[in-house]
Amino acid sequence: MLLMRSWSVRHAGLLERVYRALEGVLRALRPLARAIGFERLQKPMAGLESAIKGFLFDCRMCGRCALSLSGMSCPMNCPKGVRNGPCGGVRADGTCEALQGMPCVWVEGWKGSLCMSSGRLPLAPSAPAEWNLAGRSTWVDVMAGEKAPARAAAEAPPQPSGSRLEALMQSGVFAVTAEFSPPDSADAADVLARVAPFRGSVDALNVTDASGANCHMSSLSVAVLLTQAGCEAVMQVSCRDRNRIAIQGDLLGAAALGVRNVLCLTGDHVTNGDQPGARHVGDLDSVSLLATARGMRDEARLLSGRKLKVAPQLFLGAADTPSAPPFEARIARLRRKIAAGAQFIQTQYCFDIGEFERYMRAVREEGLHERLRILIGVGPVGSAKTARWLRAKVPGVHIPEAVVKRLEQAADPREEGRRICIELIRELREIPGIAGVHIMAPKQDHLIPSIVAESGVLAGRAPLFGAQGGRSVCAAA
């Protein structure tokens, strides 16, 4: 199957022409199909379609074929169900994070799109799969004149969210956010006991949503607790664990409880976590989640089209992984996330300034930095062993050998890792187009105050999450 899938991608231009010819034939047969009965044709046509497309594309008969939007690489073969890829889990050799050795479906799709008439993947977000249509023949739908649901509009003016973080970023101030890992606890006190290192050092805390596919207290609950404690919380929403119904309900609940910032993620595959037997949901991906949340906010409607009495006020963000291959596809996916509604981006760890300068040059060439705020991920690494583990095990993390050697040769590797983080922040601040940094220091939260202070990243201003607590907005915002 992989051999034929690879062949189909390499010949995507030819297959696109074949498909256009087939579409013309199917439309010409519409009067005959109507006379026979479209539903009566479903079973035999679905069998024929499944045999042909199964051979060429390993087609899963989703009932809403997206081959023309995915470079003739069937997105239903993605273990994470991504229909707007490639995700951030692509390994350095272009293979999937979930299935070792399998070429990423969307890296293949990106290659195929280069051979098609458009020469690129589409900008507008692709709609999520409609599971009630699985097994149906899309060829019969073409004969019947049915069309796929319209994709979300590429542009729409965002509505004010009331987010202090949004106001700060829009003012042009260099922002500082940090990652906050929820506890393995059912006690709110365990959340509040861990905020001390962040007070007076950051503008917002990004609450992870079962990061690494490991269960912790929910991102929604922790984000609400932090908001009540005077912190500007960014609630991560991963598509891995909940379907579109549950996710939309969580967005409404979060907004009702005062959470204004949402980071939309596809999420790590469940095989990365400590419960690999769990079902990976993947009903939406980060791009379709962005489009869904934007529709809820700007049009006061759910994905079903049902109207909302009160729309949620949300500042929408997403993640990016500049080090994951292929580089050109990363910029294309960033464009797609902007089209879907992303207003800010937080990236994977940066340890290679040259690599991120290249990324930002490409971003600036297309003017993408003017359309959303980009926060670069940084963090201290405590040892050469940890650095090698991150490089080998976490897709999208590139740590130059020079950094590893520096940690290895240091008398105090943990202190050296802190110094490296400070140096990186200082250098990143000088790169045009970067709007802030996002500090990730799991199990090293106590280092954040000194990293922020010694890097000078706040430039003398008071952060949104002030040392005294409260909800006052700094003058810069």
Percent of the chain with pLDDT over 90: 90
Contact 316, 262 (CB under 8 A): yes
Angle, alpha carbons 423-428-430 (nearest 5°): 110
Lowest mean pLDDT among 70-79, 146-155, 367-376, 441-450: 146-155
Q: Beta-carbon neighbour count of residue 238 at 10 Å? A: 23
Give me the mean pLDDT over the 459-464 stretch. 96
CA–CA separation, 77 and 83 (whole Å): 10
- What pLDDT, on a 0 to 100 scale, did the predictor assign at position 431? 97
Q: Is the pLDDT of residue 1 over 80?
A: no
Question: Which residue, 252, 289, 375, 221, is CA-closest to 83?
Answer: 289
- Give the C-alpha distances (Å, rounded to integers) separating 14 from 65, 116, 127, 429, 433: 18, 8, 25, 47, 40
Q: Would you call 313 exposed, middle or buried from its count of C-beta atoms within 10 A (0-12, 13-18, 19+)?
A: middle
- What pLDDT, on a 0 to 100 scale, did the predictor assign at position 475? 33
Contact 351, 320 (CB under 8 A): no
In one letter, which amino acid is 283?
Answer: D
Domain range summary for the chain, segments of one domain joined by +: 2-144, 164-455
Assign 146 a pLDDT band (cuts: 50, 70, 90): confident
Strand, helix or coil at 120? Answer: coil
Q: Is the pLDDT of residue 156 over 60?
A: no
Question: Which residue, 298, 227, 302, is CA-closest to 260?
Answer: 227
Tens digit of pLDDT for each residue in 398-412? 999 999 999 999 999
Tens digit of pLDDT for each residue in 294-325? 999 999 999 999 999 999 999 999 999 999 98
CA–CA separation, 372 and 301 (whole Å): 24
- What pLDDT, on a 0 to 100 scale, did the predictor assign at position 153? 45
Give me the mean pLDDT over the 4-30 stretch. 95
Lowest mean pLDDT among 218-227, 318-327, 343-352, 444-453: 318-327
CA–CA separation, 75 and 69 (whole Å): 9
- Beta-bridged to residue 204, according to DSSP, are 177
CA–CA separation, 331 and 259 (whole Å): 29
CA–CA separation, 339 and 316 (whole Å): 12
CA–CA separation, 181 and 113 (whole Å): 38
Helices then strands, each counted (H, E), the chain: 17, 8
- Give the C-alpha distances (Å, rounded to integers) separating 13 from 25, 119, 123: 19, 9, 19
- What pLDDT, on a 0 to 100 scale, did the predictor assign at position 240? 97
In one letter, which amino acid is 372?
Answer: L
CA–CA separation, 255 and 314 (whole Å): 7
Q: Is the pLDDT of residue 7 over 50?
A: yes
Tens digit of pLDDT for each residue in 78-101? 999 999 999 999 998 999 999 989
Tell me the pTM: 0.94
Q: Is the pLDDT of residue 157 over 90?
A: no
- Beta-bridged to residue 347, according to DSSP, are 320
Q: Is the pLDDT of residue 191 over 90?
A: yes
- What pLDDT, on a 0 to 100 scale, did the predictor assign at position 468? 65
- Beta-bridged to residue 434, according to DSSP, are 374
- What pLDDT, on a 0 to 100 scale, did the predictor assign at position 147? 64
Contact 344, 435 (CB under 8 A): yes
- Beta-bridged to residue 67, according to DSSP, are none
Is residue 97 left, alpha or beta, with left meaning phi > 0 and alpha meaning psi from -120 to 50? alpha
Classify domain 164-455 at the CATH topology level.
TIM Barrel (3.20.20)
CA–CA separation, 223 and 229 (whole Å): 10
DSSP 308-344: PSS----EEEEEE-TTSSPHHHHHHHHHHHHHHT--E
DSSP label at residue 391: H
